[in-house]
């Protein structure tokens, strides 16, 4: 089957082994079956060009695959597609200290990029729980966010250039690592966040920066949901934050049970905020902490005294997603402006408590970026399809609350398959029409990750 693949690649670079197809045919989403025809492992850009040309000639569908840590089904192959894994294009191929640029292949694991930057006395600030397996190409294709966005922005902000093989098999070189380049449409930004629907990112120039001071972490107990925003404003008024995260007590219970972790405070609280900042801001942070206690927004808090303690506090937040995976959670990744967040929280909270009195609802996320992760946990005795059907019934109402505020139905997890049919809650029909036209320009035969992002 697909003989052309065997002409293009060595036997070690093509697999049709069902065990491999089951692994490379999916990401971290649980609702879509893996059903790939083959997985290929290109080693060079030329091989990717050859593959895309072959796919155009023979009308083969290609699904790009990085670390497969996505949560929206963007890298799932359910319809007999060929998975294109970048696992064998995983090297750093250049470093220029004067430009502070690393040139890397798309399969480079995020944590390896972070470690490389550290070894050079520099810092790659985009970080998330999946950094040990996610790959830079996938991060770019989804414009990955994570836990430091409040200070350092998203993946988009760190990509100074990229080489891309478009859906018609043309290799283009975008922006060449320049800081300034006012020569018209910046195609680089079209590919960032395009979820493999326009082309394959085959090389990237990633910007590094100076490392921050040592960091301190506080975890605060906040009894009232919307008061978390008052706490955020109080901190932001007095210091620059590296992170401002939150989680509910239910989320804490799950992560503690899963990883056998200590409770951060002496008694439980309905919500917690995790604040990270430079060590030199400690006096300011302590003063803000006292003011928030006096105001009645915060009831208790803990401050890291060592790097190990900071890491332990971070586990309470970063381990949540993994700790609830076994509950087959129905995921929402919502964003509104910070100024809209207090009322949005009230409305979503009221809606889910009304709609799901019998379900556990797990709240956490990057509230400092206006981004909420709302995970509805499946009761053990409810079949998955019935559970998903019940959640689907409410989704339009949740998305209405998002749309009323011009928010986003996918803040950082992408659209993939999971949010595709709801895209019009966040994008106008005019925008969707233009997005489809762009897709046709870059991928005229519709071979690039078909069915993802756009119908
Ligand atoms: C996180 O912030 C990740 O932990 C995963 O974006 C969120 O599992 C989720 O819903
Ligand atoms: Zn997140």
The beta strand positions in 258-381, using DSSP E, are: 271-278, 300-303, 330-335, 360-366, 371-377
pLDDT at 335: 98
In the chain (455 residues long), the average pLDDT of successive 10-residue segments reads: 90 98 94 95 98 97 98 97 98 98 98 98 97 98 97 98 98 98 98 98 98 98 96 98 98 97 96 98 98 98 97 98 95 96 93 92 96 96 94 94 98 97 98 98 98 96
pLDDT at 3: 85
Distance 414 CA to ligand 1 centre (A): 12
| Helix/strand/coil for 255 | helix
CB-based burial label for 73 (10 Å; 0-12, 13-18, 19+): buried
Alpha-carbon 61 to chain mean position: 24
Write out the two tokens for 265: 């405070």
How big is the chain by its Cα radius of gyration, in Å? 22
Digit-coded pLDDT (tens) for 349-367: 999 999 989 999 999 999 9
Domain extents in the chain: 3-85, 92-207, 215-321, 324-430
Write out the two tokens for 275: 């604040």
pLDDT at 1: 64
The secondary structure of residue 213, as a DSSP letter, is P
| Shortest-distance ligand to the CA of residue 327 | 1
Beta sheet of 300-303, edge-to-edge order: 300-303, 215-222, 271-278, 241-248, 360-366, 371-377, 330-335
CATH code of the region 92-207: 3.30.465.10
Q: Atom 10 of ligand 1 has which residue's CA nearest to it? A: 373
Q: Of ligand 1's atoms, which has the minimum distance to the CA of residue 365?
A: 2
Write out the two tokens for 185: 């449409």
CATH class of 215-321: alpha beta
74, 143, 413, 418: residue to mutate for ligand 1 pocket, most atoms within 8 A of CB: 413
364, 370, 409: residue to mutate for ligand 1 pocket, most atoms within 8 A of CB: 364
Q: Of ligand 1's atoms, which has the minimum distance to the CA of residue 412?
A: 6
Q: Atom 9 of ligand 1 has which residue's CA nearest to it? A: 321
Alpha-carbon 17 to chain mean position: 29
Strand partners, 374: 332, 363
CATH code of the region 3-85: 3.30.43.10
Q: Of ligand 1's atoms, which has the minimum distance to the CA of residue 245?
A: 2
Helices (H), 130-221: 136-142, 149-152, 187-191
Closest listed residue to residue 417, CA positions, set 189, 107, 76: 76
29, 73, 128: residue to mutate for ligand 1 pocket, most atoms within 8 A of CB: 128
CATH architecture under which domain 324-430 falls? 2-Layer Sandwich (3.30)
Domains 215-321 and 324-430 share a fold: yes
Distance 357 CA to ligand 2 centre (A): 25
d(CA 230, CA 292): 8
Distance 64 CA to ligand 1 centre (A): 21
Distance 321 CA to ligand 2 centre (A): 9
- Please list every protein residue whose CB sits less than 6 Å from any atom of ligand 1: 71, 129, 320-321, 331, 373, 375
Closest listed residue to residue 150, CA positions, set 222, 215, 66: 215
| Shortest-distance ligand to the CA of residue 247 | 1
Asked if 166 and 199 touch (Cβ cutoff 8 Å), the reply is yes
Distance 55 CA to ligand 1 centre (A): 34
pTM value is 0.97
Write out the two tokens for 146: 């994570």
d(CA 332, CA 419): 9
Q: Of ligand 1's atoms, which has the minimum distance to the CA of residue 332?
A: 10
Q: Of ligand 1's atoms, which has the minimum distance to the CA of residue 130?
A: 3
Write out the two tokens for 210: 């100076």
28, 29, 67, 71: residue to mutate for ligand 1 pocket, most atoms within 8 A of CB: 71
d(CA 80, CA 454): 19
Digit-coded pLDDT (tens) for 129-148: 999 999 999 999 999 999 99
């Amino acid at each position: 089957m697909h003989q052309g693949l065997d002409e293009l690649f060595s036997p070690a670079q093509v697999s049709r082994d069902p065990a491999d197809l089951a692994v490379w045919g999916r990401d971290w989403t649980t609702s879509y079956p893996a059903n790939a025809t083959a997985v290929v492992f290109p080693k060079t850009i030329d091989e990717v060009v050859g593959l895309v040309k072959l796919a155009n000639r023979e009308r083969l569908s290609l699904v790009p695959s990085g670390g497969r840590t996505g949560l929206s089904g963007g890298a799932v192959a359910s319809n007999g597609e060929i998975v294109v894994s970048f696992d064998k294009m995983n090297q750093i191929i250049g470093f220029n200290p004067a430009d502070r640029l690393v040139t890397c292949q798309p399969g480079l694991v995020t944590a390896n990029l972070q470690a490389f930057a550290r070894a050079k006395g520099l810092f790659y600030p985009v970080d998330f729980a999946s950094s040990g397996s996610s790959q830079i190409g996938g991060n770019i294709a989804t414009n990955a966010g994570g836990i430091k966005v409040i200070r350092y922005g998203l993946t988009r902000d760190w990509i100074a250039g990229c080489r891309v093989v478009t859906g018609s098999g043309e290799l283009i070189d975008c922006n060449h690592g320049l800081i300034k380049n006012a020569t018209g449409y910046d195609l680089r930004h079209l590919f960032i966040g395009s979820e493999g629907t326009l082309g394959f990112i085959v090389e990237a120039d990633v910007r590094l920066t100076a490392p921050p001071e040592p960091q301190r972490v506080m975890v605060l107990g906040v009894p009232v949901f919307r008061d978390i925003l008052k706490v955020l404003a109080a901190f932001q008024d007095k210091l620059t934050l590296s992170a401002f995260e939150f989680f509910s007590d239910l989320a804490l219970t799950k992560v503690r049970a899963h990883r056998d972790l200590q409770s951060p405070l002496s008694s439980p609280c309905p919500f917690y905020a995790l604040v990270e900042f430079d060590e030199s801001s400690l006096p300011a942070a302590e003063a803000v902490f006292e003011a928030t206690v006096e105001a009645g927004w915060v009831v208790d808090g803990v401050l890291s005294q060592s790097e190990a303690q900071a890491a332990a506090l971070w586990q309470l937040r970063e381990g949540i997603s993994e700790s609830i995976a076994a509950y087959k959670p129905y995921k929402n990744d919502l964003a509104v402006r910070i100024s809209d967040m207090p009322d949005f929280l009230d409305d979503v909270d009221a809606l889910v408590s009304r709609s799901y009195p019998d379900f556990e609802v797990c709240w956490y996320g990057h509230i400092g970026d206006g981004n909420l992760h709302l995970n509805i946990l499946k009761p053990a005795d409810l079949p998955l399809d019935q559970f998903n059907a019940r959640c689907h019934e409410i989704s339009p109402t949740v998305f209405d609350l998002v749309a009323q505020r011009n928010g986003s139905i996918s803040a950082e997890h992408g659209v993939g398959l999971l949010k595709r049919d709801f895209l019009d809650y966040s994008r106008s029909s005019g925008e969707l029409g233009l997005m489809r036209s762009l897709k046709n320009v870059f991928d005229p035969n519709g071979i690039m990750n078909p069915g993802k992002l756009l119908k």
